[in-house]
Structure 1
C-alpha cells in the first residue's frame, strides 16, 4: 500500500508512543508512593523516666530499617514556635509531650486516668502528607500504649480490678489531636487551590499561542521596524492582561457556582489573574524565540507536572523531586492559593508570590529581547 511508504504516516505510531509515555510517566509518581522522612516536630514540655521512654522510642523509630528510610523525620522544637513553623510549612505535624505527662503515667493505675500525648496536625500544608503523619504518630502512640498496658497487667499479677481501672489498663496512653491551618469545608478536600491554579496555566498557554499566531501573521505580511514591532508586542502584552483577567475571574466565578468555599472571591480571582498573566509572559517569551515547538514544550511540562502538584515531595521518587517538581510553574500558583485558602494570606503570599513575579519579569525581559532576533526577509517573486 502506498500509505506505508509515506514517512509521515510512520510518524503517527511514534507520536502515539511518545504521548502515551509522557502521560504514563506520572504512574511512577502515583503508582506506589513511598513515604520517606516526612518532617515532624517533637515538642518536649516535661521530663522524667516515662518521657525518656518516649524519646527513646522516637529515636528507634527514626532509624528506619536496613532497606527503607523512616516514614517520619523528627526535629526538636519549642511549642512557642510551632504556629510560625506550621505557617512556614516546615512540618506536617508535631508530637507533643505535655507538661505533667510523666506524673500522669506514673499514677495512671491509682488515678484511673490515662496519660495524654498530643498530636498537632498542619492540615493546610498538604492534606495527604498531614494525614500520613497523623496516622503514623497515632500508630506510634498506640504501640507505646500497648507496651505499657502489657507491663501494667504484669505488675498487677492477677489482682482484682474494677471497670475504670480495666479501661486504663487497656489504653494507659491516649492521643489528643489539634488541627492547625484547617482545610475548610467545601474546598474539594484540600484540592481546590490546585484545581483553580491549573486553568491559570491553561489559559496562559492557549491565549499566548493564539496571540503568537496572530502576531506572526502580521510580521509575515509586513516588514516592521523595531519600533513598530515593539508597539505590536506592547499590544500583545495588553491582550495578555485582558486574557489573564478573564482567566482569573472566570475561575473564581465557576468556583463560586460550584460551591467552593473561597475566603474572598475578589482575592482569589485577582491572584489567579496575576499568576495567569505572569505565565502568559513566559509563554510569549519562549514562543517568540522558538515558535510553535514551544507549545509542545509547555504541554510536556504540564503533563509531567500533574503528578507532583498534590503529592508531598517526600512521597515522590528522587527523579521527580530533582528534575520535574522545581520546573512546574503551576505549583507556585497552587501554593499561593493554598496560602490564601488555609493560612489567612492576602494577595502577597510570600515565596510563591515572588517566584511567580520572577517568572513574569524574566518572561517579559526575554520577550522584549526577541526584537533582536534575526528575521528572514520574505522571498520575492524574482528569487
Structure 2
C-alpha cells in the first residue's frame, strides 16, 4: 500500500488520461467532417433564359439549408483565368456554362442531343476537397436536368415520343468533367506528398534530440569556452546536414522500392532533405533553449498536425483552422511536395518553400543566440 502514498504513482493515471486525450483530439477534426464554403468558380460564357435558370440554382445552393453554411462558395471567373486560378489554388472546382448552352437546351429535343455543363476539377489541390466539390456540382447538374426533363415532358403531353428523344427527355442536361493538375497514378490517391513530408519532420525531431543529448553530455564532462561551444554547435549543424540528406534520399529510395510514382528521384530527395534540415534547425534551436521538454512539445505538434494534414481547411472545425493548422510545420513540406507532384513545380515551390526557408533561418539564428545563455542556466537545462 506504500505505492498509493507516492505522488509519482498518482501521476501515472493522470498522464495516461492526458496522452489519450491528446491522441483523441484528432477525432474532432476527422470524426464527422463537414464541408463548408468550399471555394468554387462559376464561369459563364453564354446568356439566355436557361443560363439564368442555372444562375438561380447556383444562388439557391449558395444560401445553404436550415441556416447552415453552404457546402460551396461560388465566385464568378473568366474562362481564360481558370488555369492560373487553379495553379494558385483558389478553387477546388468550377462550373462552366459554355457558349451555346442556352441554344443547346432549346434545341435538345430537335437535335436529339443533351446540353452540356462543364465541370472543371482541380484534383491536385486536395483530392478530398475536389471530390466533395465535384459531387456537389454533379448533384446540381442532376437537379437542373430533372427540372428540364419535367418541363419537356409537360410540353410533349399527348405527343408521340420517338426513341431518339427518349434519352434526351430523361437527361436533357449532362455534365462533362475535365481534370486539372491531375493526381497521378500510384501516389496513394493524392496522399503521397503528406506521407513523404512526415519522415522529414520525424527524422529532424529524432536526429535533433539525439544530437542535443550528445552535446549535453559533452558539456557536462567538460567546461567549454564560448569559442569551443560555437565549434560544437557547428559540428551539430554539420551532423544536421548529414541527417537531412539521409532522411530525404532514404524516403526517395523507399518510394522507388514501393512503386510510388515520384516526379524525379533527385528532385524529391533534395526537397525532403531541404525541409528536414530546416526542421532540424528549428528543433535544435528550441532544445538549445528549453532542453528535454522540447521533445514533448514537438511530439504534441506532430500529433495535432496529423489530424489536419489530409483534410482541406474548409472541412475542419474553426478551432483547428485558427489555432492549430497555421502552426504545423509539416504542412508546408506537404504543400511543397504537392506542388512538385501535381503542379509541375521544380525545387522552388513558391510560398511553401519560402515558409520552410523562413523556419530554417529563424531556427538557425535562435540556435546561434543560445551561445550567449549563462553557463549556469545551460547546465541546469542539460541536467
* Structure 2 counterpart of 1:235: 235
Matches within 5 A, 1:150-299: 150-299=150-299
How far apart in 2 are the matches of 1:134 and 1:5? 61
How far apart are 1:86 and its partner, in Å? Answer: 0.4
Please give the root-mean-square deviation of Cα atoms over the aligned residues, in Å: 1.0
Matches within 5 A, 1:1-383: 1-376=1-376
Give the number of equivalent residue pairs. 379
How far apart in 1 are the matches of 2:79 and 2:227? 60
How far apart in 2 are the matches of 1:250 and 1:10? 42
How far apart are 1:377 and its partner, in Å? Answer: 8.1
How far apart in 1 are the matches of 2:200 and 2:377? 36
How far apart in 2 are the matches of 1:140 and 1:246? 50
How far apart are 1:164 and its partner, in Å? Answer: 1.1
Question: Which shifted more, 302-311 or 61-70?
Answer: 61-70
- Aligned to 1:75, the other structure's residue is in SS state strand
How far apart in 1 are the matches of 2:136 and 2:74? 12
The unaligned stretches of length 5 or more in structure 1 are: none
The unaligned stretches of length 5 or more in structure 2 are: none
How far apart are 1:65 and its partner, in Å? Answer: 2.1
Question: Which shifted more, 195-204 or 151-160?
Answer: 151-160
How far apart are 1:330 and its partner, in Å? Answer: 0.3
The list of structure 1 runs, each at least 4 consecutive aligned residues, that deviate by more than 2 angstroms after superposition, is none
How far apart are 1:66 and its partner, in Å? Answer: 3.5
TM-score between both structures, scaled by the size of structure 1: 0.98
TM-score between both structures, scaled by the size of structure 2: 0.98
How far apart in 1 are the matches of 2:192 and 2:256? 11
How far apart in 1 are the matches of 2:241 and 2:54? 56
- Aligned to 2:324, the other structure's residue is in SS state helix
How far apart in 1 are the matches of 2:289 and 2:32? 39
How far apart in 2 are the matches of 1:124 and 1:116? 24
- Aligned to 1:306, the other structure's residue is in SS state helix
Q: Deviations over 1:34-90 (max 9, x none)?
A: 100000000001111111110111011101124310000000001111011101111
